[in-house]
Amino acid sequence: MTIEQGLRALAGLMTLVSLALAHWVSPYWLWLTVFVGLNLLQSAFTNWCPAMPILRALGFRAGPGCCAG
C-alpha cells in the first residue's frame, strides 16, 4: 500500500470513528472530524500531512505521483 492510499484510509477511518464517538459518547468528538477535514484540505495544497512520516516509518512506500518529502 502506498503512503497516499494509507492517508486516504486513515482519514476515512478517523472520520468514521469520530462520528461514532460523537453519536455514542459526546458531540465534542466532532472536533476530530473538523481536524481531519482541515488536514485533508491543507494536504491538498501542500502535498504533505503529519501522518506521512508515521506511515513511512510503518513501511508504507511512496507511490507514483506521491511526494517523497
- Give residue 62's pLDDT: 87
Distances in Å between the Cα of 28 and the Cα atoms of 6, 11, 13, 18, 22 are: 26, 18, 18, 9, 6
Q: What is the DSSP letter of 67?
A: -
- The tens digit of pLDDT for each residue in 7-59 reads 999 999 999 999 999 999 999 999 999 999 999 999 999 988 999 999 999 99
The helix (run of H) or strand (run of E) holding residue 24 is helix 3-24
**Crossing angle (nearest 10°) for helices 3-24 and 30-46:** 160
What residues does 29 pair with on adjacent strands?
none
- The tens digit of pLDDT for each residue in 40-50 reads 999 999 988 99
- Give residue 65's pLDDT: 61
- Map residue 2 onto helix, strand or coil: strand
